[in-house]
Amino acid sequence: MKINVVYNKDVAGYADALNILEKTLSDRNVEFDSFPIDNLKLSGDFAFVIGGDGTLLKAARFYASEEIPVLGINLGRLGFLAQAGVEEINRVVDSVINKSYFTEKRLMLSSGSALALNDFVIKGCVPSRTSKFYLEINNKFVCDYTADGLVISTPTGSTAYGLSAGGPVLYPSLDAIVIVPICPHTLNARPLVVPAGEIITVKTSDKLLSVANDGFDTMECVEKISIHKADKKAVLAFLNDTGFYSVLRNKLHWGISPDIK
């Protein structure tokens, strides 16, 4: 097995985590190659990713073409997708070497050459004001939203921006897409869940759109955007089969009653 060690130099504490991970792999005579997130290499059999969820998203999109599993060592804030902290590196490495992990294939979205594992966020080119967005599905008009923007999300991304914007949480393995308006200027605009095979097109009365995929690459001022299910799926590695609902409880404090004395 050859391991890729991907790290984000912009995240505090990456150097210490990188040193610990490299030493752990060396002590176990595991072949590895280390490189920053901005210089990814399409090789290896498995990838450790040191950083936050944003770093993991970028690596997972990149390695999806070869179905290389990725596992996050979290240095960010929430670390919803990451599996372990720095203090758990020894255990994590041993689990990977012994193949005591499982993988999940996650739906991604595509628009041209852009991929998203979490979401596409669509706004007007003048972000300080609301815009009218026209939604089409399979070339048929659905509705329009007067809003700050739209989130087109995968089930994986339903716990990210879409959740903050009032969208539903989808189980990660569902084959579906969520459409969530951001701060709609009406009381009757609701999120919409559609089958993953649909083609979603968004236009605006402002004629130009600004689009971000997974919070990174941005398409500035395009006339319209069409989004559909990507051909490849990202492969995420997990160590413990604690279940998606446990992650919701432990990391998002889902459904935990307030401690009333």
Considering only CA atoms, which of 228, 216, 134, 117 is closest in space to residue 181? Answer: 134
Report the distance separating Cα 119 and Cα 95, nearest Å.
Answer: 30
Q: For residue 107, give both structure tokens.
A: 């739906």
By the 10 Å C-beta count (0-12 exposed, 13-18 middle, 19+ buried), 168 is classed as middle
Question: Is the separation of the CB atoms in 97 and 236 below 8 Å?
Answer: no
- Could you tell me if 33 and 2 are in contact, meaning their C-beta atoms sit under 8 angstroms apart? yes
Side chain identity, residue 199? I
Lookup: tokens for 191: 């999120």
Contact 131, 203 (CB under 8 A): no
Give CA separation, 112 vs 96, 106, 124, 139, 208, in Å: 34, 19, 19, 17, 17
| CA nearest neighbour of 92 among 256, 238, 217, 257 | 238
Which entry of 10, 16, 33, 53 is annotated as an active-site residue? 53
Name the residue among 135, 10, 171 with its Cα closest to residue 75: 10
Active site residue 119: no
Annotated catalytic residues are: 53
